[in-house]
């Protein structure tokens, strides 16, 4: 079921309002997504898509509607939010008007939270890395974490998110594999040492929803083009089985 039909008062922020705590605002957005992911997956009429673009579109539409019904109507979920050059995030959290967060004005077309979405496992393709959640093939910046590190996505954001559609294997399996790959990149001093040992994913507080895994990581990134040297990433993994 999608969010309850009754509107409640916005619990964090509203168009034209001022919010003093940016971390609280980000926490509210992440909390909304965490709550709605299983609800979206279990909707009886959701088409049984397997490919990422169609999953992203379906999820984006659900989250955009849920935000308004859940009282977080200061934000919108937009598919393929525009980034540097011709790049686009899978989903962007935007504002429909103006909102002030810790003295900074966010207006139309400004992204509050960039979201990358990946399937686990990566679909087999000789043009793609086998661990595209982390990085792409040499010379191709198609990895989710990689794009945030290089400032290709979310270059002005200090918070980002990666959503995984887990289509086979267990959560511990993917955590082990992804952290192993992150450690290997650090050991190999990949990208002139941009990857470092502390960047592995760690489990966050236990999610309230079944078949959902919540993790956290912090990644050093290129500055410039990024506006800060580190980006905090929330990871939500949803079992699609």
Convert the pLDDT of each residue in 60-84 to its tens digit. 999 999 998 888 888 899 987 555 5
165-174 pLDDT, tens digit each: 999 999 999 9
Number of domains in the chain: 1
Give the Cα separation of 200 and 149 in Å (integer).
13
Is residue 118, in this structure, part of any structural domain at all? Answer: yes
32-56 pLDDT, tens digit each: 999 999 999 999 999 989 999 999 9
Of the candidates 181, 96, 72, the one whose C-alpha atom is nearest the C-alpha of residue 132 is: 181
Average pLDDT of span 6-26 = 53
Per-residue model confidence (pLDDT) at position 14:
46
Is residue 146, in this structure, part of any structural domain at all? Answer: yes
pTM, two decimals, is 0.88
Is residue 3, in this structure, part of any structural domain at all? Answer: no
Residue indicated by tokens 């309230």: 208
Per-residue model confidence (pLDDT) at position 187:
94
- Predicted confidence (pLDDT) at residue 93 exceeds the cutoff of 50: yes
Per-residue model confidence (pLDDT) at position 172:
93
Distance set, CA 83 to CA 57, 61, 141, 148, 156 (Å): 18, 20, 14, 11, 10
Is residue 2, in this structure, part of any structural domain at all? Answer: no
Is residue 41, in this structure, part of any structural domain at all? Answer: yes
Q: Name 219's bridge partners.
A: 231
- 193 exposure class (CB count in 10 Å sphere: 0-12, 13-18, 19+): exposed
Average pLDDT of span 179-189 = 95
Residue 112, domain extent = 18-239
Is residue 127, in this structure, part of any structural domain at all? Answer: yes
Is residue 161, in this structure, part of any structural domain at all? Answer: yes
Give the Cα separation of 225 and 166 in Å (integer).
32
Which of the residue ranges 15-19, 126-130, 217-221, 235-239 would you say has the lowest mean pLDDT?
A: 15-19
For 216, the token pair is: 């956290």
Is residue 114, in this structure, part of any structural domain at all? Answer: yes
């Amino acid at each position: 079921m999608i969010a309850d039909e009754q509107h409640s008062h916005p619990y964090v922020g509203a168009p034209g309002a001022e919010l003093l705590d940016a971390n609280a605002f980000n926490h509210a957005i992440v909390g909304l997504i965490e709550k709605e992911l299983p609800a979206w997956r279990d909707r009886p009429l959701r088409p049984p898509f397997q490919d990422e673009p169609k999953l992203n579109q379906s999820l984006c539409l659900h989250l955009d509607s849920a935000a308004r019904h859940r009282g977080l109507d200061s934000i919108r979920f937009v598919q393929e939010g525009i980034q540097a050059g011709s790049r686009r995030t899978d989903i962007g959290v935007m504002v429909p008007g103006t909102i002030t967060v810790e003295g900074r004005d966010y207006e139309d077309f400004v992204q509050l939270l960039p979201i990358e979405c990946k399937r686990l496992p990566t679909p087999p393709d000789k043009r793609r890395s086998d661990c595209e959640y982390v990085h792409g093939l040499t010379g191709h910046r198609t990895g989710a974490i990689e794009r945030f590190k290089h400032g290709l996505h979310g270059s002005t954001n200090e918070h980002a998110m990666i959503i995984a559609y887990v289509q086979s294997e267990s959560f511990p399996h993917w955590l082990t594999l992804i952290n192993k790959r992150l450690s290997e990149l650090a050991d190999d001093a990949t990208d002139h040492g941009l990857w470092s040992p502390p960047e592995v994913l760690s489990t966050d507080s236990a999610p309230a929803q079944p078949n959902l895994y919540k993790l956290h990581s912090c990644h050093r990134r290129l500055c410039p083009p990024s506006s800060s040297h580190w980006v905090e990433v929330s990871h939500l993994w949803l079992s699609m089985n």
